[in-house]
A and B are shown apart, each in its own frame.
Chain A
């Protein structure tokens, strides 16, 4: 048997890592997926190539995250290997060894934001974001689209690319009023310099195949067509499944496989999915076959009955309305900035962020330079109830001269008042600078 598309796989189930023994994100999570993948003989198919994951370096983490107070404090070995798995697939794709690839790794990453004090939503560092910075730094890729199909809003990925007009982030998820992390509404459409390039599509509980695939077909694909990304990344969370214990959606293995066929991601990275027996083995097998261009019509969960999980008309109606609204926002994206943010040389915001996994409460204030030419330099001051504090300055990829200058002037002027540490991410030079603050 030969795959129509050369598909790379990294399979890292981390059988010896868990948040804690009874946590949904535990050793057992990918066990049955591995059983199914091995038993189906998927890794023997000509054209499906299994890679050993690499390990991410602190430098690669540092392009994406400000870690308090350094990567080793917030990452375990498993995090280094999980993100490393995404890196391995990205490199194989860029080196044209494969036509597309799927990193089935754990722990997941899409709730990890730019500033990292610890674990949020089972995530510490953002696997896709770290991978994307590798694609930009090592391969010069400019326009990237991320489609996050995890049932939870990809708030971490959204945060990291919030000010970045070159990275289109689309998240489909169960309505934030009914599920963690409680965000991801259509009015969250990106920061002032990148208004419109964050797209949230909240779906009502109970959404099944028809509604989900309608959204892909009528909302996601047209936007991708407009944006014309060089690479499409799928944050392939699998917890929209009807058997998932911590969500309320009705998606199926067939649905996920069809979604993959429609989306044609270049790189997929596993996110959540906690129905470890009823869903993951079948969903993952379906996605792998779909990526390889093989027949997945017989991949179904035991007892799968499409009629029983079908959404009702009201649900479908709500989905269609949301899609229309999202398309409108997309079409108006050029006018959005002024309408939503006005015209100012600098924008400030402050917010608090909860780390549910590690029980940390963070307070942030941010200042961003308004910029027409690039994503804009910004500075985040962050502190938490764990007593760590940082001032992080970020000069974006492709920054204009003025933004570069401002980044360094902020860094020089920052005397570390009240912070443990002051960091500068200089993405154009791919350099980091760090100095101690005066806080003990």
Chain B
């Protein structure tokens, strides 16, 4: 049995799943001031009267770290940066305790300038005086040579509770994003760690013993224990949960638009042949562009409860929400009220809904039905336009090889899957307007919790070899080895796969049918003076995101 728990804005949903069915589901209000008790209540209610020894894992999708960042309840982490030539690193300052020290590497990881130890020690001293306990260390090109970051860490580690290094964050190049991501790890660490310890302790006390996983923004899971060193990975897993929920019942032979229609916003995601599209560089959270792997989702301020009013003679919908629909006791008209007027919804106060929509009708000189129809159509049209823009954006992603240019896949959606409160009511209109078959996700009420529960562990390894320098490294894994001139791409590939399997085990188990997917596979002859001086090899492999094997039939129920 598996538990999936998704904490949403208003409710937390939890499901207990057996091989072929949902055994139990609970819904409890989210207490944003105490997410810990929300999680615990969900787990307790779900496991009441259940033989918990049969539970193989529980997956949580929490908004904890996201909230901590949004509410600025993050620790005032310190940062030590070494940049060398390029953009002024002052531009990426994100903390009062942000220190730039001398030291530089080039694009192949060769040292241009040594780290200035005295500057590091002086920075550490200042941070200690200010009570900083968590520090991030980032140097430019550290993914090509982590030694400078390690050197700084060795100098200061003893003085602080936790030290985070940029090269552990991601194998991808992007210094500003590496700084932001490392900073987020350092700053949400205390909140995350306290939460982790409280959950483990409480479960122990209740005698509940099963592995706890957290859902990541890329739709994969990682063991709670593994997340301690990378807490930012669990940021914004909410949209991932709903996409994975839709994926459970998605046909594999189509490109699909997933629309999670909520009260305030509609989240849009794209599936290509059963695989969700990822954000190429990493997720953006508030002002921070990061290297955190994430599904590509786009949010439009358009949902069932969007505020509808007339401005300059035109009907405007959203993006703000002023409260529930008038049919449910709200004070301003919404698209949901339009559904009541059109006779598409009936489980609320139709008279109140009509009152709201009639205001709009009067101001725009229309009949009640005409006004409701326009509101509904306009809501659907804007959602479809936003999805179209997103597809155009993905289809026009840059390519760097002839092969990718010729082969670059063009998304052509053949199905829209909707989920969320008013999903089934919106589906027919979305289908009419887009001309694309539109279906509601089965058991959409708990699809997110189901998605969290069914997501499989994922991880990625970046491997870089430079045979002229005689080194190969996998920065995130703290792995390095010496290589000779006869080290070739296939050697690099098998080493990368070996590291990936090891990492997968740490992250929550390597599924028997886990597919290793190659994301990058390049080898360049380095020619100096018309002669080969070595090879520059770049490999990136991942465990493909997807759902747990053996649970295929469940989503159809």
Residues in A lying within 8 Å of B, measured CB to CB: 1, 10-17, 21-22, 26-28, 31-32, 34-36, 38-42, 44, 50-53, 55, 77-78, 81, 245, 277, 281-282, 285, 289, 294-295, 297-303
Q: Which residues of B contact A16 (CB under 8 A)?
A: 401-403
Q: Which residue on chain A has the smallest CB distance to residue B110?
A: A302
A52 and B401 form a contact (CB under 8 A) = no
Interface residues of B in 517-550 (CB under 8 A from A): 522, 524-527, 529-532, 536
Q: Which residues of B contact A38 (CB under 8 A)?
A: 172-174
B405 and A281 form a contact (CB under 8 A) = no
A83 CB, min distance to chain B CBs, angstroms? 13
In the complex where A11-B400, A21-B527, A41-B175 touch, is A36 in contact with B86 (Cβ < 8 A)?
yes
Give the docked Cα–Cα distance between A17 and B524 (Å).
11
Q: Which residues of A contact B87 (CB under 8 A)?
A: 40-42, 289, 294-295, 298-299
Partner of A40, one of B112, B175, B531: B175
Partner of A28, one of B106, B399, B536: B536
Partner of B173, one of A39, A55, A78, A282: A39
B521 CB, min distance to chain A CBs, angstroms? 11
B176 and A245 form a contact (CB under 8 A) = no
Give the docked Cα–Cα distance between A50 and B398 (Å).
7
B512 CB, min distance to chain A CBs, angstroms? 35
Give the docked Cα–Cα distance between A42 and B398 (Å).
15
A245 and B402 form a contact (CB under 8 A) = no
B400 and A282 form a contact (CB under 8 A) = no
Q: Which residues of A contact B525 (CB under 8 A)?
A: 21-22, 26-28
B177 and A44 form a contact (CB under 8 A) = yes
In the complex where A39-B107, A39-B141 touch, is A44 in contact with B398 (Cβ < 8 A)?
no
A241 CB, min distance to chain B CBs, angstroms? 15
In the complex where A32-B107, A77-B405, A245-B529 touch, is A52 in contact with B396 (Cβ < 8 A)?
yes
A14 and B177 form a contact (CB under 8 A) = no
Give the docked Cα–Cα distance between A103 and B112 (Å).
29
12 A-B pairs with CB atoms under 8 Å apart are A13-B400, A15-B524, A22-B527, A35-B107, A38-B172, A41-B175, A41-B176, A41-B289, A52-B408, A298-B86, A301-B85, A302-B104
Q: Which residues of B contact A52 (CB under 8 A)?
A: 396-399, 408
A403 CB, min distance to chain B CBs, angstroms? 39
Q: Which residues of B contact A53 (CB under 8 A)?
A: 398-399, 405
Give the docked Cα–Cα distance between A41 and B406 (Å).
27
Count the A-B residue pairs with Cβ separation under 8 angstroms: how many?
Answer: 119
A256 CB, min distance to chain B CBs, angstroms? 14
Q: Is B88 an interface residue (CB 8 A)?
A: yes
Q: Is B140 an interface residue (CB 8 A)?
A: yes
B402 and A78 form a contact (CB under 8 A) = yes
Give the docked Cα–Cα distance between A299 and B89 (Å).
12
Give the docked Cα–Cα distance between A50 and B106 (Å).
24
Give the docked Cα–Cα distance between A282 and B401 (Å).
22
Give the docked Cα–Cα distance between A174 and B4 (Å).
68
A434 CB, min distance to chain B CBs, angstroms? 28
Interface residues of B in 463-517 (CB under 8 A from A): none
Q: Which residues of A contact B84 (CB under 8 A)?
A: 302
A298 and B85 form a contact (CB under 8 A) = yes
Q: Which residues of B contact A300 (CB under 8 A)?
A: 85
Partner of B522, one of A15, A77, A299: A15
Residue among B112, B140, B399, B529 having the largest count of chain A Cβ atoms under 10 Å: B399
In the complex where A21-B527, A39-B141, A39-B173 touch, is A15 in contact with B405 (Cβ < 8 A)?
no
Q: Which residue on chain B has the smallest CB distance to residue A37?
A: B173
Give the docked Cα–Cα distance between A15 and B88 (Å).
30
Residue among B88, B141, B531 having the largest count of chain A Cβ atoms under 10 Å: B88
Q: Is B50 an interface residue (CB 8 A)?
A: no
B417 CB, min distance to chain A CBs, angstroms? 28
Partner of B107, one of A10, A42, A277: A277
B177 and A12 form a contact (CB under 8 A) = no
Q: Is B281 an interface residue (CB 8 A)?
A: yes
Q: Is B91 an interface residue (CB 8 A)?
A: yes
Give the docked Cα–Cα distance between A301 and B399 (Å).
27
Give the docked Cα–Cα distance between A10 and B399 (Å).
9
Give the docked Cα–Cα distance between A64 and B397 (Å).
29
Give the docked Cα–Cα distance between A11 and B405 (Å).
12
Hey, what's the 0/1 contact readout for B67-102 against A, CB within 8 Å counting as 1?
000000000000000001111100100000000000
In the complex where A50-B398, A300-B85, A302-B85 touch, is A39 in contact with B526 (Cβ < 8 A)?
no
A282 and B85 form a contact (CB under 8 A) = yes
Interface residues of B in 106-148 (CB under 8 A from A): 106-108, 112, 140-141
B213 CB, min distance to chain A CBs, angstroms? 31
Residue among A27, A77, A289, A300 having the largest count of chain B Cβ atoms under 10 Å: A27
Interface residues of B in 222-280 (CB under 8 A from A): none
Give the docked Cα–Cα distance between A201 and B80 (Å).
48
B397 and A28 form a contact (CB under 8 A) = no
Residue among B177, B398, B406, B408 having the largest count of chain A Cβ atoms under 10 Å: B398
Q: Which residue on chain A has the smallest CB distance to residue B113?
A: A302
Give the docked Cα–Cα distance between A295 and B522 (Å).
33
